[in-house]
C-alpha cells in the first residue's frame, strides 16, 4: 500500500522517520511518498486533507479533527522544550501587547501558546521560523516567537529571552507541553492506521540503536546545523512521549485543545 507522508526536515522528525522511509526496517509492504516541509505548510495542507499521514502542530488539531486522528507514536511533547519569546533587549511583559511580534505560523502551537500568555497582543507577523531571529535583529519586528533549533542559537546572536512559553504552560497547568504530533486521515482503514503507528514506533526504536551517531539522512536535511546542535535538537524534542504518548501525553493534548477552544 502506498501512503503519502509529510514531516519537517528538522532533526527530530528525520531521526524518527529515517528507518521507515529508507527501508531500514521491514515496512510490511507499505511504501511512502515523502514530503519534507515546514510545519506551517503541513498545517495548511492538512486543512485541505492533502496528505494521508502528516506531522502537525497540536494547535491545528481542532480544525482538522473531523479528517485526521492522532497516532500514539512520533509526537514532540515534553518539558522544557517550548517555544521562546525573544528580543534584542529586555522588555517587560506588560509592554508585549503593544509590540509587533513575529510568529512561525498562525496555526502553530507556538502562536497558540503566545496567545494564551499574551491574549491582548494582536500585532503579529507570520514568518518562516528560520527568519525570525534576523527579523528581530534588523528591527523588522520588536520580538519573535522562536522554535526548533533557534532556541539553541539566539543567545549567540546577542538576543535575550523574554519568556519561555513552555515553562509558562507547565507552570500554569502542571502538564508537559504538546508541540506537534503525527496524524493520519480517518478514511484510512483502522487496521492500516494501527500498522503505521507500530511502524513509526519501530522506526524510532531503530534510530536509538545507533544514537548518538547521526545518520546521513538526518545530517543531509540539517546542512547548516552543527552536529552538536542536531543532537541537542533530538535530545530535547524526542523522548518517551515520542515512542508512545500514553495517558499523560494524551491528557496534556486534551488540556491544550480545551484551552485553545476557549480562546
Strands (E), the chain: 2-7, 31-36, 53-57, 68-70, 76-78, 84-87, 101-103, 124-126, 143-146, 160-164, 177-185
- For β-strands 53-57 and 177-185, DSSP reports them as antiparallel
* pLDDT at residue 153, rounded to an integer: 86
User: Rounded distance, CA 158 to CA 212, Å?
Assistant: 29
CATH number for the domain harbouring residue 231: 3.40.190.10
Question: Are residues 16 and 73 located together in one domain of the fold?
Answer: yes
Cβ(3)–Cβ(196) below 8 Å: yes
Q: Is 124 annotated as a binding residue?
A: no
Question: Are residues 67 and 91 located together in one domain of the fold?
Answer: no
pLDDT band at 42 (very low <50, low <70, confident <90, very high): very high
Question: Are residues 22 and 65 located together in one domain of the fold?
Answer: yes
Last residue of a domain, one of 114, 145, 173: 173
User: Rounded distance, CA 242 to CA 145, Å?
Assistant: 23
Question: Are residues 33 and 156 located together in one domain of the fold?
Answer: no
Q: Is 159 annotated as a binding residue?
A: no
Q: Is 175 annotated as a binding residue?
A: no
Domain count, the chain: 2
Q: Which domain holds residue 60?
A: 2-78+177-262
How do residues 101-159 score in pLDDT, each as one tens digit?
999 999 999 999 999 999 999 999 999 988 999 999 999 999 999 998 888 889 999 99
Kindly calculate the radius of gyration of the chain based on its CA atoms and give it in whole angstroms. 18
How do residues 23-39 score in pLDDT, each as one tens digit?
999 999 999 999 999 99
Question: Are residues 196 and 69 located together in one domain of the fold?
Answer: yes
H helical segments located in 5-143? 11-21, 39-47, 61-64, 109-117, 132-137
Q: Is 171 annotated as a binding residue?
A: no
* pLDDT at residue 139, rounded to an integer: 96
Active site residue 221: no
* pLDDT at residue 148, rounded to an integer: 83
Cβ(64)–Cβ(82) below 8 Å: no
Question: Are residues 161 and 209 located together in one domain of the fold?
Answer: no
Cβ(86)–Cβ(143) below 8 Å: yes
Residue 220: which residues within 8 A CB-CB, separation 6 or more?
A: none
Of residues 148, 201, 206, 233, which has the active-site annotation? 148
Amino acid at each position: 500500500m502506498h501512503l503519502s507522508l509529510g514531516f519537517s526536515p528538522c532533526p527530530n522528525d528525520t531521526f524518527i522517520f529515517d528507518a521507515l522511509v529508507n527501508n531500514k526496517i521491514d515496512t510490511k509492504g507499505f511504501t511512502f511518498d515523502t514530503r519534507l516541509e515546514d510545519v506551517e505548510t503541513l498545517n495548511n495542507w492538512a486543512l485541505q486533507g492533502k496528505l494521508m499521514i502528516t506531522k502537525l502542530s497540536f494547535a491545528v488539531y481542532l480544525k482538522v479533527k473531523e479528517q485526521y486522528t492522532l497516532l500514539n507514536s512520533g509526537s514532540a511533547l515534553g518539558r522544557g522544550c517550548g517555544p521562546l519569546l525573544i528580543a534584542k533587549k529586555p522588555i517587560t511583559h506588560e509592554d508585549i501587547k503593544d509590540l509587533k511580534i513575529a510568529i512561525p505560523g498562525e496555526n502553530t502551537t507556538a502562536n497558540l501558546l503566545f496567545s494564551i500568555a499574551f491574549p491582548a497582543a494582536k500585532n503579529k507577523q507570520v514568518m518562516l521560523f528560520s527568519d525570525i531571529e534576523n527579523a528581530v535583529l534588523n528591527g523588522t519586528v520588536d520580538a519573535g516567537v522562536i522554535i526548533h533549533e533557534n532556541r539553541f542559537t539566539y543567545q549567540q546572536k546577542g538576543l535575550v529571552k523574554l519568556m519561555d512559553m513552555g515553562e509558562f504552560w507547565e507552570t500554569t497547568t502542571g502538564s508537559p507541553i504538546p508541540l506537534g504530533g503525527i496524524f493520519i486521515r480517518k478514511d484510512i482503514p483502522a487496521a492500516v492506521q494501527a500498522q503505521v503507528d507500530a511502524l513509526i514506533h519501530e522506526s524510532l526504536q531503530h534510530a536509538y540503536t545507533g544514537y548518538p551517531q547521526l545518520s546521513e539522512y538526518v545530517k543531509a536535511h540539517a546542512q547548516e546545523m552543527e552536529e552538536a546542535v542536531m543532537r541537542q535538537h533530538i535530545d530535547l524534542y524526542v523522548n518517551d512521549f515520542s515512542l508512545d504518548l500514553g495517558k499523560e501525553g494524551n491528557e496534556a493534548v486534551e488540556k491544550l485543545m480545551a484551552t485553545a477552544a476557549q480562546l
